[in-house]
């Protein structure tokens, strides 16, 4: 995994945590949740159809 890709995942993870914190939802990922989140983000990033109209930092 390249550094840019790793940084992208970290940035989006922080963005999601910030959004959840703003809704008073505590997000404390376990190892399994972190792996799932990472895989989900990778699938999302690779799926051009899902990106239409959605801005990810």
Question: C-alpha 20: how far from its chain's center?
Answer: 12
As for how many domains the chain has, the answer is: 1
Q: Is residue 19 part of a domain?
A: yes
Residue 10 sits in which domain range? Answer: 3-47
pLDDT higher than threshold 80 for residue 15: yes
Q: Is residue 52 part of a domain?
A: no
pLDDT higher than threshold 70 for residue 51: no
Residues in the chain: 57
Name the average pLDDT for the chain.
Answer: 69
**Contact of 48 with 56, CB cutoff 8 Å:** no
Strands (E) in 1-57, as ranges, are none
pLDDT higher than threshold 60 for residue 54: no
pTM for this model (two decimals): 0.37
């Amino acid at each position: 995994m390249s550094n840019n890709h790793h940084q992208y995942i970290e940035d989006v993870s922080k963005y999601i945590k910030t959004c959840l914190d703003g809704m008073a939802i505590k997000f404390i990922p376990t190892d399994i949740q972190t792996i799932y989140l990472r895989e989900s983000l990778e699938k999302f990033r690779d799926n051009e159809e899902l990106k239409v109209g959605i801005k990810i930092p």
